[in-house]
Structure 1
Amino acid sequence: MSSRGKEQVGANLQQQQHHFSNNELESRGLLIGGLGHTNTQDMWTREACTSAKSVGLLERKQARACRATPDVMPSLVQAAKDTSIVCQQAFRHRRWNCSSIERAPDYTPELLTGTREQAFVYAMSAAAAVWRLARGCALGSLAACSCATPPRKEPPSPSALMSPSSFTTMSVSFDTLSIKNSFKWGGCGDDVRSASRIAKRFLQGAAPLGTGATAKFMHAINMHNNRAGRRAVEQSLTLECKCHGVSGSCSVRTCWRGLGASGPSAAGSRLLHRYATAAEVRPKGSGGRLPPLYHHDSLLYTTKSPDYCLPDKKRGSLGTIGRQCNGSSSGYEGCEYLCCGRGHVTRTENILERCDCKYISCCYVRCKTCRRVIQTYECN
């Protein structure tokens, strides 16, 4: 790496300078949000990993993993950006709209106290990391992995690929029933298993600081939600196939398991559903352990969320005063829900714009001027 490249990484990391207590660093140790403010094109070296630890972007064991495998860092940086994008897209119409994730790694209380929102962000962070790492494996940009090992089960039959249960004729759920046919495993499948292992080592390397049962319990919840996020990516794998044959006869198809082109948002959709059905948990006994009652796919939380209607810094609520809402909707984006019953202000704006444009001769356009009325609704 050139000295200029090292200097650029150092400069970017110095811009992220923060000072955290040990407990705060441990809370952030299972997230990668702070990396989203760095450049995906930065060259990561052992020195850059140490610098990232010194400014609070990585905790101790993460910095050690970074120094051992610096080639995974661009994927994790992009995953941090993905987490922010998917989260804000998923919650854009709700009272909590995930805007606070942009403050990473200086997270606000709702992402540190065991709420539903923390559960989603931790799971989404892990899901985005697995997705980006799996793509890096398939593209050959990571030394620790490459293409996925072909499954032992035979690919589904042509009739199964055309079944109504498939998303398209070329992409179906992997658990479709199969019979012997002219299919064969090939291509380069996404190695989600290796990607999940790398993400787990990076995101769950930190041990709970302190000996208290509360700290151990919170750590156990965070690790559970990380695992739920990784599993959401595994469940997003679909069967992708390519036809071979004369004149499009498709006499042979080569198939592989892939994540498709939808990006981490596919896992985000699964996790948003699980956010709505998240389970509240309490520690079992005094050991800080999770009660063995919950499915691995469930999201868990331990602190009830505020209603996010009014500003409350202690609980991480920004409130909805001044938020734009939809005056004709009864859903989450509707003024009744988003404004928490406080009412809203309707604003009307007249906009003049070109309209009814027509070509005159070869290269002249004549347009009329039209008036358009726009109404916006803003919460009191």
Structure 2
Amino acid sequence: MTMSTSKCKNIKWLAITILIFIHVQEGESIKWLALSKASDVRIWTKEACSGAKTSGYLERKQARACRSTPDIMPNLIQAARDTASVCQQVFKDRRWNCSSIELAPRYTPDLLTGTRERAFVHAMSAAAAIWRLARACALGNLAICSCATPPRRVPPLIIPHTSLSLLRTNSALLDASAAKSLFKWGGCGDDVKSASRITKMFLQSSSSSSLGATGRFLHTVDMHNSRAGRRTVEQSLSLECKCHGVSGSCSVRTCWRGLDSKGPGAAGTRIFKKYSTAAEVRPKLGRLPPLYHHDNLLYTTKSVDYCSLDKKHGSLGTIGRQCNGNGSSLGYAGCEYLCCGRGHVTKTRVVLERCECKYISCCYSVQCSTCRNIVTTYECN
């Protein structure tokens, strides 16, 4: 009886060990997001790259890429921070609020299995990396890229409102054909093409050869979602032009293609829309079915509702989360949804703040009163 019990325990621990190993392997492709915890070192050395690998921030091939092109690392650090901040911002009112991304590189099962949350993180991390690297290329911070190669096609007619008003005043409006003939590609466009190539090389450096059939398929899905994130940025390039000429006549336009000035957050908003329409896929000969468009997000594991604490599935639950207790709030931020029907408690507290401040000219000082404000919050049961 003792031998049987001991044997069962050994089998149990072996199964747990295998499960942990599989999770570690599956989480390798996004464990680089732990770089968000790294210090802002402008110059990376080979020793720093090896140290990042030892700390679990990079897997073997990513550390090799770090050593060969160390100047990309400060941008990847910022991309990792962008990924975490954007993810937490767009999910702030959802039951899963992306707080587990802060655990990198030791993720919980919500990001270790093929959930749609994992799909979003893969796509968002790729988008953030491209945005940061493309800007670094244009700014001349990277040795392997610079400004984007000018397109061959003629840009459409775009004249700023200020120039347009002047043209109308002078009754000298350019027709479309004339305007198109008086332009030149110039400036320094964001080199998204090179940034996409660098990002792909870095993110796909995780090898799936050591994984089983399920692991290889999940790796394929991860790479698909990363590609969807890259394409989101590639498709967001917009045409920017600057007019030249006497009195703003716009006789010549200099045009280039640039990224959204709002930063990676703009890409995160677009990827979040894809999260809601993500498609579930099943392994089929280790390949993705051809019917799925490369811009879609894909997942392999259905997510739990994230209402209650469930370590097995990486759910932190929503107990204690603040919600919108306004009775008219029926959205995701409303207590009815966020608290999963468990109800909520209302808490009030008095906050003392400076108010009614006045500048005293004679004494070069500011005098303020103290105001008492009552703040009401709602927390899920």
Please say if residues 23 and 112 of structure 2, whose CA atoms lie closer than 8 Å, have aligned partners that are also in contact: no
Please say if residues 147 and 191 of structure 2, whose CA atoms lie closer than 8 Å, have aligned partners that are also in contact: yes
User: Paired residue for 2:210?
Assistant: 210
Q: Indicate the larger mover: 326-335 or 271-280.
A: 326-335
Instruction: Quote how far apart the aligned CAs of 1:21 are.
Output: 4.3
Does 1:334 find its partner at 2:334?
yes
Q: Indicate the larger mover: 246-255 or 316-325.
A: 246-255
Whichever structure has more helix as a proportion of its residues is 2
User: Paired residue for 1:295?
Assistant: 293
User: Paired residue for 1:230?
Assistant: 230
Residue pairs, 1:36-185, within 5 angstroms:
36-158=36-158, 180-185=180-185
Cα displacement string for residues 148-193 of structure 1 (whole angstroms, at most 9, x for unaligned residues): 000111111136x77xxxxxxxxxxxxxx99734221100001101
Please say if residues 27 and 111 of structure 2, whose CA atoms lie closer than 8 Å, have aligned partners that are also in contact: no
Please say if residues 31 and 58 of structure 2, whose CA atoms lie closer than 8 Å, have aligned partners that are also in contact: no
Mapped to 1, the partners of 2:47 and 2:361 lie a distance apart of 65
* Matched residue SS, 1:64: helix
Please say if residues 31 and 104 of structure 2, whose CA atoms lie closer than 8 Å, have aligned partners that are also in contact: no
Gap regions ≥5 residues in structure 1: 1-19, 163-176
Does 1:257 find its partner at 2:257?
yes
Mapped to 1, the partners of 2:36 and 2:323 lie a distance apart of 29
Q: Residue 325 of structure 1 aligns to which amino acid in structure 2?
A: C
Does 1:374 find its partner at 2:375?
yes
Instruction: Quote how far apart the aligned CAs of 1:34 are.
Output: 1.2
Instruction: Quote how far apart the aligned CAs of 1:24 are.
Output: 1.2
Instruction: Quote how far apart the aligned CAs of 1:261 are.
Output: 1.7
* Matched residue SS, 1:74: helix
* Matched residue SS, 1:85: helix
Gap regions ≥5 residues in structure 2: 1-19, 162-175
Normalised to the residue count of structure 2, the TM-score between the two structures is: 0.85
Q: What fraction of aligned residue pairs are identical, expressed as a percent?
A: 69
Mapped to 2, the partners of 1:46 and 1:126 lie a distance apart of 24
Q: Residue 323 of structure 1 aligns to which amino acid in structure 2?
A: R
* Matched residue SS, 2:86: helix
Does 1:219 find its partner at 2:257?
no
Mapped to 2, the partners of 1:280 and 1:64 lie a distance apart of 34
Does 1:350 find its partner at 2:350?
yes
User: Paired residue for 1:316?
Assistant: 314
Mapped to 2, the partners of 1:294 and 1:326 lie a distance apart of 37
Please say if residues 26 and 59 of structure 1, whose CA atoms lie closer than 8 Å, have aligned partners that are also in contact: no
Q: 1:95 to 1:250 in 2, by over 3 A?
A: same
Mapped to 2, the partners of 1:31 and 1:350 lie a distance apart of 42
Instruction: Quote how far apart the aligned CAs of 1:211 are.
Output: 5.4
Q: Residue 206 of structure 2 aligns to which amino acid in structure 1?
A: A
* Matched residue SS, 1:314: helix
Structure with the greater alpha carbon radius of gyration: 2
Mapped to 2, the partners of 1:258 and 1:205 lie a distance apart of 28
* Matched residue SS, 1:206: coil
Please say if residues 155 and 184 of structure 1, whose CA atoms lie closer than 8 Å, have aligned partners that are also in contact: no
* Matched residue SS, 2:77: helix
User: Paired residue for 1:173?
Assistant: none
Cα displacement string for residues 66-97 of structure 1 (whole angstroms, at most 9, x for unaligned residues): 11111111111111111111111111111111
RMSD of equivalent CA atoms: 2.1
Mapped to 2, the partners of 1:368 and 1:44 lie a distance apart of 51
Instruction: Quote how far apart the aligned CAs of 1:361 are.
Output: 6.5
Q: Residue 374 of structure 1 aligns to which amino acid in structure 2?
A: V
Mapped to 2, the partners of 1:48 and 1:358 lie a distance apart of 52
User: Paired residue for 2:10?
Assistant: none
Mapped to 1, the partners of 2:368 and 2:190 lie a distance apart of 52
Mapped to 2, the partners of 1:140 and 1:43 lie a distance apart of 15
Mapped to 2, the partners of 1:361 and 1:112 lie a distance apart of 62
Mapped to 1, the partners of 2:190 and 2:348 lie a distance apart of 51
* Matched residue SS, 1:253: strand
Instruction: Quote how far apart the aligned CAs of 1:250 are.
Output: 2.2
Instruction: Quote how far apart the aligned CAs of 1:64 are.
Output: 1.5
Please say if residues 26 and 209 of structure 1, whose CA atoms lie closer than 8 Å, have aligned partners that are also in contact: no
User: Paired residue for 2:4?
Assistant: none
Please say if residues 53 and 59 of structure 1, whose CA atoms lie closer than 8 Å, have aligned partners that are also in contact: yes
Please say if residues 279 and 298 of structure 2, whose CA atoms lie closer than 8 Å, have aligned partners that are also in contact: yes
Please say if residues 134 and 191 of structure 1, whose CA atoms lie closer than 8 Å, have aligned partners that are also in contact: yes
* Matched residue SS, 2:27: helix
Q: Residue 80 of structure 2 aligns to which amino acid in structure 1?
A: A
Q: 1:216 to 1:89 in 2, by over 3 A?
A: same
Instruction: Quote how far apart the aligned CAs of 1:359 are.
Output: 5.2
Cα displacement string for residues 81-115 of structure 1 (whole angstroms, at most 9, x for unaligned residues): 11111111111111111111111111111001000
Mapped to 1, the partners of 2:192 and 2:110 lie a distance apart of 30
Cα displacement string for residues 298-338 of structure 1 (whole angstroms, at most 9, x for unaligned residues): 00001111111100001000000001111112111111111
Normalised to the residue count of structure 1, the TM-score between the two structures is: 0.85
Cα displacement string for residues 106-156 of structure 1 (whole angstroms, at most 9, x for unaligned residues): 111100100010000011111111111101110111111100000111111
Q: Indicate the larger mover: 238-247 or 365-374.
A: 365-374
Q: Residue 261 of structure 1 aligns to which amino acid in structure 2?
A: S
